Structure 1
Amino acid sequence: MSKRTSKRTSKIVKPVGSDLDLCTQHREKYVKYCTQHDSPCCAKCTAEKHVSCKEIISLDEAVRHFKGSVAFKKIEKGMVDAAKNLKQIRKESEVNVSVITEERTRIESEIQQARNKINKYLDKIQNQMSKELHEVTHKVKKKSSDLNVVINEMERSIANQQSKIDKVKKDATDVQCFLSMKSTEAELNKIDKTINTIIDDGEFGILSISFNLDPAMENLALNANSFGHVIVEIKPFLSKSIEEISLNLQRTINTQVKQTEGCCLLDNGTLLFSDFLKDRVTVLSDNRELDIQIPIKSSLHGLTVIDSQTIAVSPGGSAPHVINVVDIKDKSIKKTIPVHSEVDGMVYREENLIYCARGDGIKMTNFTNGVTATILKCNLGQFANIANFKDKLFVTDRDEHTVTCCDLKGTVLWTFKDTEVLQRPWGITVDKDGNIYVVDWKDKLVVLSADGKRHKQLLSAKDGLKSPTTLFYHNHTNQLLVANEKNNALLYKLI
C-alpha cells in the first residue's frame, strides 16, 4: 500500500514595512539618518543632498530603542486620540441633525401660533419661513453626510495604521519599525491637519438656530414682510465651555519691560511687547532671548497683528496721534496712519483697524485708504482694550468696571458688570470657541462665556499675576500669553 504524500507550500508573509528600508529614489538600503532634515539617507542621498549637513548619524543609532521610545508611544497615542476625536465629531454632528430638526419643529410651532393671530394674508410669509428652515435643515444633513464620508476615510486609515503598529511591534526589525512609524507619523499629521481644519475653518461645526419674532406680528401689522429671522450660528466641534477650561503653564518670560500695555505672539514663536515708558516695541525671539527693540515716537499702548511680520501699534494718549505699522523683519516703521483721537486698544479685521478712541468710543479706520468711521459712540476711559470674534467686538472699560459686547454696527448686545468679579478690567482676548478672557489689574484672569452670562476665575496672584495689563490668544497653537505690567509674562496652553 503506497502512501500518498502531499506537498504543502507555505506562503511567505512579507513583513510590515519590508521595503521601507529602501530609498524610494535610488532603491538602495538606508544607512544614515539626517536629523537636520528628519530624513533617512542611502549612500547616494548622503552624497547628493546632505553633503553640507552636520547632523547625520548612522541609521542604527537613530532607530536604537525606538519601539520603546517616547516618540513611538506618542505616535501610537496620537492615533488613539485622533480616532476618539473623529468618533466624538461624528456623534456631535449626528446629534446636531436631531437637535436642529427638533428646533425646527419648535420654531414652526411658534410661527403657527403667531400665524393664528393674523389673517390669511400671511400664508405666503409662513411658507417662505418654513422653506428657509427646511433649507437650513437640509444643509445641516448634507454637511453631516459629507463629513461622514471624510471621517469614514480617516477612520479606515487609522484602523490600517493601528494594525500596522501592532504588526510592527511584533514582527519588524528596528529599522523597519522606525521607518514604518515615520510613515505612520506622516499619516497621523495628515489626519490631525484635516481634523483641525474641520474644527477651525468655520465651514463645519455645530449649527444652532433660533427664532426672533417680528414685533410687528403681535400688532397684526399687515406691512410686515417676515415672521422673523432664522439665526444660524456655527460652534466648532469639540469646543469647550468655560467650566471645562483650564490652563497649563509652559514658561515664565522675562519681558524686560517696565510698563507693558500690549502684547502678541506670532506664528513663528516671536513675542512682542509694547513698552509704554520707553516708547519702543520689545521683540523676543522664539527662544525667549531679546532680539530687537524698535523705537516708536509715542507712548505705546495696544499691539495688533497684521501678518506674519507686520504689526500695528496704537499711540495711547500721546501726540502725534498716528497708528504706526511696524515691519518686524526690517525693524522699521512701514507706514503711519493719522487718527483724530487718543487710541488705546486695537484689533485688525479684514483690512480695517478697529480701536478704542478715548472719549469717542469705538472707531474703525481702513488700513489701505485711511477712511474712518464710528462704530459705537460712547465715552471710553483710558486704557480701554478691544477684542474681536466673528462679527462681535468686546471692549473693557476699567473706570466703569465693565466688559461690553457689541456688533460691527454698534448695537450693544450685552454688558458684564460685577465688581466682585472684575474691579479694573484691562486687557481682553477671545479664544476660537468665543470664550472671552479678561485680565484685571487687581491680579485676576477671568473667562466669560460668549453670551456674557457666566464667568470663571482662572488665575490669581498666587499663580504669578501682579498687576496684569494685557494678554493674547494664539488661535493655531491654543496658547494664552498673559503679561504683567512689569518685567514678566506667563505663557499658558489651554487644556
Structure 2
Amino acid sequence: MATIDIASFCDFCQNKDINKSAEEYCPQCEEALCRECTDNHKISKLSKMHHTISVEKYRKLPSFIKQIKHNCEVHDCFLEFYCKSHEFLCCKLCLISGHKECKETIFVEDFLTPSSGHQSVALGYIEKVLTDIGINISSALKDRNRNLMELREQKQVISEYIKEKRKEINTLLDHLEEELQENASTLEKTNCRKIEEIITKLEDEKEKVDRIQKDVETVNMFASNLQIFMGTKAFQESISTIEMNVQQVYDNGSLNNVTMKCTFNEKLEEFIKHIKTFGDVEIDNCEKHVSFSWQSHKSAQIFKPTSVAKSIENINVRLGRRININREGISGCAISEAGNMLFLQARSNRLMKYSPNGELISESCIDPEASGIGYDLAVIDSNTVAVSSGGNPPQQIYLIDMNSTKTSQVFQLGDWCCGLSYNNNSFICCTFRNGIKIFDRSHSNLTNVRILPNAPDKVNYTYVTSNENRIFHSNWNDDSVVCYDFSGQVQWKYCDLLLRKPYGITLDSNSNIYVAGSYSNNIVVISPDGKQAKELIGASAGMSSPRALFFHKTKHVLLVATNNEVAFMYDVI
C-alpha cells in the first residue's frame, strides 16, 4: 500500500522486488501503479470500474484527504455507506452486522453529482459558505479602512477647529489647548489601533479562507468521491470556526462605526478665570455602516437535512386530531420529539401532558411552593422545555424535562415574564414594565441582561418567538406583529384587519410566521419579510379564540390551543 506522500514506485512491481516509477494512483485500491500495471488495472474485472488519478495530482491533495481510507479495516470491503446515527462509514458487511436498526444510513454516491465527475453537492455548499465569508470579510475590511481614514480626517478637522477657536481667546489658554489636543490624539490613536487590530484579524481570517478555497479547488478536481465526502466534514469544521470568528467580530461591536466629535465649553467667551476646560473630544461608537450577507444556508450541510422554502400561498393545513383538554385558559403548548403534547394553563401552576393520540398522560405541578404561576412554554432542546412564571411571584423561568415533566433547573429573573422564546443561548422575555428583555444563559443565573431597543415598554401578556437572526413579537395591544433584529432595529411591522388581538406566535423551518388571532378567530401565516399574509385557518373551519401555538419543524405539524378547552393538531402541507 502506498503511503500518504510517497507513491513514487509502483506497489505491484515492488511486491515482485521491481522498482518502477508510479504514474497513476488508485484511491479505491490505495495503490500506486506504473503504466503497465495501470493498463492491467483498467481491464481487470475487479478494478476496471476504479477511477485512477495521476501521481502528480494525488500529491496535490490535502494530507487529511489522502489519509481517508476506502476499505473497511474489519471486513476489507469498500466503504460505501454512512450511518448518520453513529457518524460512521460502513461497508456492506458492517451495515448488516452492526447497523441493521439504524434508520439513517445513506449511500455515499447519493450525495455526489453523477454528471460532473468529482464535483459534489457538499463541496458546492462549502464553496458558497466560503464565498460568503470572503465577501463579508472584504466588506468589513473595506469598511474598517474607510472608518480609519474617516477618523484621521475628522481628527484633522477637529484640530483646525480647535486652533481657530484658540485664536479667539487669550494666550493664557495654551495649556488647555495642548491638553485637549492630547486628548484627541490619544482617543484617535487608541481607536485606530483597535480598528487596525480588527483589520489584522480579518486579514488573517481571509488568508485562511483563501487557503481552504485552494484546497477545495484541488479536492474538487482530484479527490475521489469518498475523499470528497469525508473531506467535506473536515472543511466544514474549519470554515465553521472561521465563520464563527468573523460573525463574532460583527456581533461584539468591533465593526461599530467609530467617530470623534469635539464640543466646547459654553463659558468659553467668559472671563478666563471662569474657564476650566477648553472642550472635550469623545468617541461616538454608533451603528455599523456594514452588514453581513449569508446567501448560503448556514446549516445546509451534507450531514443535515435541508428544507426548501415555499410561498405562503402554497402553505395549507389538514386537520389531524382534535384534543379535548377540558381546561380553559391554555396559554402555552409544545410537542416533544416523542410526539407527546404539553399544555400550560395560565396562572394555574399546572402542566399537562398528552399522548400523540390525544389521551391525558399526566398533570404535574411546576413549583410546589408557588401558586398562580405559568404563562408560556419555550422548547430548549429535544428533552427540555422552559416555563415562564407570568405575572405572579416568584419571578422565575423553570426548565422542565419533557419526558418526566419534572423541574430540572430554575433561573431567577428579577422581572415578570410572560411570552417566552429561546435562541442563541438566550431567553427572550416579554416583561411587564421593561419591554422585551434578553437574558444571556451563558452567564451565571442570567446576570447578563439587556432590554431590546425600540420595543414597547409594556408588553405584558404578549408573545414572542425567534430564530438565529430575528425576534418576532405579537402585540394584542395594537393588533400588530413586529420583527426586530437582535440589536433592536425594527425590520418590519404587520397590521391588518385580517388579524385582531394576536397572541400565540411560532415559526416554521423557513421562518414563516404563524400567529393566533384571538378576536379574529383565525390563524394567520406571514411571510418572513412581512410583506405577505393569508388566513390559514379561519372561523369557517371551526377556529374560535385561538391562544397558544407551536410548530414542530421536523414533524411539520402545527399545534393550536384555544380558550375553549380544545386544541387542534394540523399537518402542514
How far residue 444 of structure 1 moved from its aligned partner, in angstroms, is: 0.6
CA contact (8 A) 1:129 1:227 kept: no
1:356 equivalent to 2:415? Answer no
**Aligned equivalent of 1:238:** 297
Q: Deviations over 1:392-441 (max 9, x none)?
A: 75433211234456788xx74327444227543333456789x5735141
Unaligned runs of 5+ in 2: 1-38, 51-70, 78-85, 160-183, 265-278, 301-307, 366-370
**Aligned equivalent of 1:326:** 400
1:272 equivalent to 2:349? Answer no
Q: TM-score, normalised by structure 1?
A: 0.60
Q: Partner amino acid for 1:261?
A: S
Q: Partner amino acid for 2:524?
A: K
Q: Deviations over 1:140-173 (max 9, x none)?
A: 4234235436745874798535xxxxxxxxxxxx
Question: What is the rounded CA distance, in whole Å, between the counterparts of 2:339 and 2:138 in structure 1?
Answer: 44
**Aligned equivalent of 1:295:** 364
Q: CA RMSD in A?
A: 5.8
**Aligned equivalent of 1:256:** 323
Q: Deviations over 1:172-206 (max 9, x none)?
A: xxxxxxxxxxxx9xx96x67867887898883599
Question: What is the rounded CA distance, in whole Å, between the counterparts of 2:221 and 2:555 in structure 1?
Answer: 28
How far residue 280 of structure 1 moved from its aligned partner, in angstroms, is: 4.5
**Aligned equivalent of 1:488:** 568
Q: Partner amino acid for 2:113?
A: V
**Aligned equivalent of 2:503:** 426
Cα distance change of structure 1 residues 40 and 202 upon mapping to structure 2, 3 Å threshold: same
Q: Partner amino acid for 2:45?
A: V
3-state secondary structure, aligned to 2:503:
strand
**Aligned equivalent of 1:33:** none
**Aligned equivalent of 2:464:** 386
Question: What is the rounded CA distance, in whole Å, between the counterparts of 2:46 and 2:572 in structure 1?
Answer: 47
CA contact (8 A) 1:257 1:282 kept: no
1:116 to 131, 153, 156: 153
How far residue 446 of structure 1 moved from its aligned partner, in angstroms, is: 1.4
**Aligned equivalent of 1:397:** 475
1:445 equivalent to 2:525? Answer yes
Figure out how many residues of one structure are paired with residues of the other and give that number: 421
Cα distance change of structure 1 residues 309 and 203 upon mapping to structure 2, 3 Å threshold: same
Q: Partner amino acid for 1:237?
A: S
CA contact (8 A) 1:260 1:275 kept: yes
2:200 to 122, 126, 135: 135
Cα distance change of structure 1 residues 148 and 461 upon mapping to structure 2, 3 Å threshold: same
Question: What is the rounded CA distance, in whole Å, between the counterparts of 1:107 and 1:27 in structure 2?
Answer: 55
1:203 equivalent to 2:243? Answer yes
Correspondence list, 1:56-71, <5 A: none
3-state secondary structure, aligned to 1:395:
strand
Question: What is the rounded CA distance, in whole Å, between the counterparts of 1:141 and 1:153 in structure 2?
Answer: 18
Unaligned runs of 5+ in 1: 1-7, 29-36, 56-70, 162-183
Q: Partner amino acid for 1:293?
A: S
Question: What is the rounded CA distance, in whole Å, between the counterparts of 2:528 and 2:357 in structure 1?
Answer: 30
Q: TM-score, normalised by structure 2?
A: 0.53
Question: What is the rounded CA distance, in whole Å, between the counterparts of 1:325 and 1:252 in structure 2?
Answer: 31
How far residue 385 of structure 1 moved from its aligned partner, in angstroms, is: 1.6
CA contact (8 A) 1:362 1:376 kept: yes
Cα distance change of structure 1 residues 360 and 490 upon mapping to structure 2, 3 Å threshold: same
How far residue 90 of structure 1 moved from its aligned partner, in angstroms, is: 1.4
How far residue 488 of structure 1 moved from its aligned partner, in angstroms, is: 1.4
Equivalent pairs: percent with the same residue? 17
CA contact (8 A) 2:476 2:500 kept: yes
CA contact (8 A) 2:127 2:216 kept: yes
